[in-house]
Structure 1
Amino acid sequence: MRCPFCGHEDSQVKDSRPTEDGASIRRRRQCEGCGARFTTFERIQLRELTVVKSENRREPFDRGKLERSIAIACRKRPVEQTRIERLVTAIQRQIETSGESEVPASTVGEMVMDGLKALDSVAYIRFASVYKDFREAKDFEDFAGSVSEVGRE
């Protein structure tokens, strides 16, 4: 594992333990070059996944990107990081077990929307405002109104 501080090629594992959700292994490492310590996570990957973006652009599925976008939607909300990680893991597993190696970005977006809807309504609206590309305040009002109507049913 390359050191993130000095770029040295070798590091030594000092400690390994499973994460709270058991979906990955947390490893504490020490660089053999500069002696710095850092943490890595090892996860099971069932297959190489590709996300098909607009205009048929393709890019590898990036769990970190998914986690960052959900975390941004949940910023300053009472949502624990472990719940965000569980949502990301659930979405990743759902994609991996679908049997497809390519998944449309719109499918991933809808999975995030469904997960955030159950997690936090404000985060759901925040994510939707970017995902659905709201152009004006009226778009935002209409969507927020539909969310509050669903909550009253």
Structure 2
Amino acid sequence: MKCPYCGHLDSKVIDSRINKDKTITRRRRECTSCQQRFTTYERIELMLPMLIKKDGRREPWDRGKIVAGLEKACEKLAVSMADIDTFVDAIEQKLQDYGGKEISTRQIGEWVMESLPNLNEVAYVRFASVYRQFRDVNEFMEELKLFLGEQGKH
């Protein structure tokens, strides 16, 4: 592991801990050259399907993009980063279970829309307003009516 302080390529692991979900390993390291300590996080690299964008372009899954979208939707709400990470972990698990080589971003968006009310209802409304690309207030109100109708059934 390259030292972020001196650039030396050798370090020793001082401590390792696994998060409660057993999905990330936190390692405390010490550079063998300058003795500075730093932390690394390891996550298993998943073999996920290629995403098909609305315009037909294909691109690899980027966890950071969905995290950024959820952070924006959850801004100033009582939703922790741990909650967002757990939410994205669940989406990645669905992607892994999907089994195909390609998947449309529309499908991923639908998975997010299905699960987001469980994370935070205000975040759901915010995300929906961007994801559904409402043309006017009436379309937005229709989505809210559908959402409130679904919430009444649970």
TM-score after normalising by structure 2 = 0.82
What secondary structure sits across from 2:115 in the alignment? helix
What secondary structure sits across from 2:15 in the alignment? strand
* RMSD, aligned CA: 2.5
Q: How far apart in 2 are the matches of 1:96 and 1:139?
A: 33
Ranges in structure 2 where 5+ consecutive residues have no aligned partner = none
Asked whether the 8 Å contact 1:8–1:32 carries over to 2, the reply is: no
Ranges in structure 1 where 5+ consecutive residues have no aligned partner = none
Residue number in structure 1 paired with 2:63: 63
Choose 1 or 2 for highest CA Rg.
2
Q: How far apart in 2 are the matches of 1:27 and 1:19?
A: 11
Asked whether the 8 Å contact 2:2–2:10 carries over to 1, the reply is: yes
1:119 aligns with 2:119: yes
Paired positions, count: 152
Once the two structures are aligned, what percentage of the paired residues are identical?
38
Cα 1:35–1:128 shift into 2, 3 Å: farther
Asked whether the 8 Å contact 1:47–1:101 carries over to 2, the reply is: no
TM-score after normalising by structure 1 = 0.82
Asked whether the 8 Å contact 2:48–2:95 carries over to 1, the reply is: no
Q: Deviations over 1:75-101 (max 9, x none)?
A: 111223222211111110110121112
Equivalent runs, 1:49-60 vs 2, <5 Å? 49-60=49-60
Cα 1:75–1:111 shift into 2, 3 Å: same
